[in-house]
Amino acid sequence: MTTKANYGRVLGGLIALWFVAALTASALHVFSRHPERPPLAMLAAVVTPIGIFTAWYLRSRSFQEYVLSLNPRTLTIVHSWRLAGFVFLVLSTYRILPEIFALPAGWGDIAIGATAVPVAMWLARPGHKASFIVWQVLGVTDLVAAISLGATARFIDPQGVAGISTAPMTLLPLSLIPNFAVPLLLILHGICIAQARRWKSEEREVRADMERLPAI
């Protein structure tokens, strides 16, 4: 049986390889495309790791148990780095990225990043299960909306400012956001939601066990 320590090492190695692959693909301009074509390579980079993780989670009981044993507070605090979403606002101001994409993505990330630590400290517990799940869903919505707007900005606003597109998101260092950070953060949100959904049943099991203990 694979131990938690082994899973930790395996996952650490896989994440490192994933980062190197995303970095290499970006350096080779794998995600560059004609403005009129859909970003299929970029979308594949987002969906593939999520699909692999989901399949592994569903098919391996031991991996599922390991994932559910991770600390939800730590997983939530990771999202605090999304405060860096202010970069999207800056790039929009300098007309490097279109406003229709940069403003929702930037402000959404800032909102999630600014609330990550308070949510981790105060809501990551069974008593605040509903609020914790709602925050995680909002985080997922922000990421999905950003990817969707990035892929369709040109079609949604074809009369936008001439020469401004989401093409910079396919180049380093920005390309690492959709190719690596977004799917990783979506996976973390998914883990936290799965953990929170079990809190009530686990709490009942612990209470039942305590009631079965002999009185002293």
Confidence at 216, pLDDT banded by 50, 70, 90? very low
Question: Do the beta carbons of residue 108 and residue 149 sit within 8 Å?
Answer: no
Of 132-141, 158-167, 169-178, the range with the lowest mean pLDDT is 158-167
Give the pLDDT of residue 37: 75
φ, ψ of residue 93 in degrees (nearest 5)? -60, -40
Read off the pLDDT of each residue in 121-126 and give the average, rounded to a whole number. Answer: 96
Sequence-separated (6 or more) residues with CB below 8 Å from residue 136: 76, 189, 192, 193, 196
Mean pLDDT computed over every residue of the chain: 89
Phi-psi region of 163 (alpha: psi -120 to 50; beta: other; left: phi over 0): left
Q: Is the pLDDT of residue 60 over 50?
A: yes
At 19-34, the pLDDT tens digits run 999 999 999 999 987 7
Single pTM value for the model: 0.89
Contact 98, 161 (CB under 8 A): yes
Question: So where are the chain's domains?
Answer: 4-212
Check whether 208 has a pLDDT greater than 60: no
